[in-house]
């Protein structure tokens, strides 16, 4: 079943069929109708590969993320897809699994599939990889990494501002012994930036940062749990702990619960990202919000403007906000960490 059969059925040329499908040139009312009917009658679906080959553009946007299993990403993917569909584009998504080698594979796939643009929403990035895209004049937008150029844009998330607000919230509550649980994945720029910001803000507030940075083995709830377990072993544990992301913070919550201690009475906990489930934790998690929908929109627009409107690459900024829920309170008065019952 191809366009020729439709053409025959409608008694027109293949070009005309193509015209009505793509509305790429005026076709008379009558012919259009005949073609439409033929398409329906024959149950014709145009072959997108042939279209891509014929026209030179795939109408596909590539989206590279770290791991669809990390709750931060599904919402991002969904928003990005929605916007893309509204603009008549499709999207294919690829996972790097936080792995630079797999990033190369992802980019290869994007090139082979002839995507029109690609959004790299991960931070495990070799700059050289973006070059592969640039050389082929494929517009790119990246997160916190990557340079701005003719066809490449960069989105800067205000990680630092988020950390600042979190630490200051804690300081305002009276905390002075504050820890930060990061992940071993420190080649991730987003993680690195959060850690650095934490150190910086602590310093600025004149707070000691001795042993206040703990690295988990994996960026996950498990990681948060085991890191918090470590903290619990200390002679004089912190009174507040910030997690590098919500999933980590959720693991921390579990470690504390398991030790028979309470949040926020015994520990104040803050997460980062504001994933949907965080509001449903017990207690609801105070966290730094990154607006995923806005991020997705921003990424798409960055791409669309250079791809369709011939714009040039530029820098975009995304804000963060502290969402105060119930996992933070004034610090415990003494260090008698007595498990409940």
Partner DNA sequence: ATGAAAGCGCTAACAC
Partner DNA sequence: GTGTTAGCGCTTTCAT
Residue ranges in contact with a second copy by CB under 8 A? 43, 45-50, 52-53, 58, 67-69, 71, 73-75, 77-78, 81, 90, 92-93, 95, 108-109, 111-114, 132, 135, 221, 225, 250-251, 253-254, 257, 276-277, 279-284
CB of 320 vs a second copy, minimal distance in Å: 21
In angstroms, rounded to a whole number, what is the distance separating the alpha carbons of residues 36 and 31?
8
Distance, CA of 256 to chain centre: 28
Residue closer to DNA (CB basis): 54 or 174: 54
For residue 308, state whether it binds DNA (rule: CB under 7 A): no
From the list 7-15, 119-127, 152-160, 324-332, the region that binds DNA by CB under 7 A is: 7-15
Whether the upstream peptide bond of residue 283 has omega within 30° of 0, thus cis, is yes
In angstroms, rounded to a whole number, what is the distance separating the alpha carbons of residues 337 and 322?
28
Distances (CA, A) of 137 to 21, 132, 141, 312: 28, 9, 13, 12
Residue closer to a second copy (CB basis): 236 or 280: 280
For residue 24, state whether it binds DNA (rule: CB under 7 A): yes
In angstroms, rounded to a whole number, what is the distance separating the alpha carbons of residues 333 and 204?
25
Residue closer to DNA (CB basis): 39 or 298: 39
Residue closer to DNA (CB basis): 35 or 285: 35
Contact with DNA (CB under 7 A) among 33, 40, 41, 55: 55
For residue 11, state whether it binds DNA (rule: CB under 7 A): yes
From the list 51-59, 83-91, 133-141, 204-212, the region that binds DNA by CB under 7 A is: 51-59
Distances (CA, A) of 157 to 154, 218, 242, 327: 10, 23, 18, 24
Residue closer to a second copy (CB basis): 217 or 335: 217
Q: What is the DSSP string of 80-129?
A: HHHHHHHTT-EEEEEE-TT-HHHHHHHHHHHHHTT-SEEEE--S---HHH
Residue closer to a second copy (CB basis): 229 or 254: 254
Give the closest residue to 285 by CA, choosing from 295, 296, 294, 274. 274
Selection from a second copy, DNA, none that 156 binds (CB < 5 to 8 A by kind) is none
Work out the angle at residue 156's Cα, subtended by the Cα atoms of residues 155 and 162, and round it to the nearest 5 degrees: 140
List residues near DNA by CB under 7 A: 2-4, 11-19, 21-22, 24-28, 30-32, 44, 46-47, 50-51, 53-56
């Amino acid at each position: 079943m191809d366009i020729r059969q439709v053409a025959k059925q409608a008694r027109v040329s293949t070009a005309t069929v193509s015209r009505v499908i793509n509305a790429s040139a005026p076709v008379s009312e009558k012919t259009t109708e005949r073609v439409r009917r033929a398409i329906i009658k024959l149950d014709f679906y145009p072959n997108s590969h042939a279209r891509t080959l014929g026209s030179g553009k795939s109408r596909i946007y590539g989206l590279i993320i770290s791991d669809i299993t990390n709750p931060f990403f599904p919402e991002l993917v969904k928003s990005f897809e929605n916007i893309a569909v509204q603009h008549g584009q499709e999207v294919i998504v690829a996972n790097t699994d936080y792995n630079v080698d797999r990033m190369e594979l992802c980019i290869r796939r994007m090139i082979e599939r002839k995507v029109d643009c690609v959004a790299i929403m991960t931070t495990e990035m070799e700059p050289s990889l973006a070059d592969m895209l640039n050389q082929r004049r494929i517009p790119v937008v990246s997160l916190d990494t990557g340079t701005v150029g003719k066809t490449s844009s960069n989105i800067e998330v205000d990680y630092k501002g988020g950390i600042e607000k979190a630490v200051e919230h804690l300081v305002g509550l009276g905390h002075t012994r504050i820890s930060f649980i990061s992940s071993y994945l420190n080649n991730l720029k987003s993680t690195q930036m959060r850690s650095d910001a934490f150190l910086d803000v602590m310093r600025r507030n004149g707070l000691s940062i001795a042993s206040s940075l703990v690295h988990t083995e994996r960026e996950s709830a498990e990681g948060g749990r085991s890191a918090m377990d470590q903290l619990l072993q200390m002679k004089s544990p912190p009174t507040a702990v910030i997690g590098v992301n919500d999933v980590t913070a959720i693991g921390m919550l579990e470690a504390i619960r398991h030790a028979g201690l309470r949040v926020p009475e015994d520990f104040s906990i803050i997460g980062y990202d504001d994933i949907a489930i965080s509001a449903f934790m017990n207690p609801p998690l105070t966290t730094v919000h990154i607006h995923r929908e806005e991020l997705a929109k921003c990424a798409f627009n960055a791409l669309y403007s250079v791809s369709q409107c011939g714009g040039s690459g530029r820098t975009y900024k995304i804000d963060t906000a502290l969402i105060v829920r119930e996992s933070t309170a004034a610090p415990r008065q003494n260090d008698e960490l007595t498990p409940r019952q």
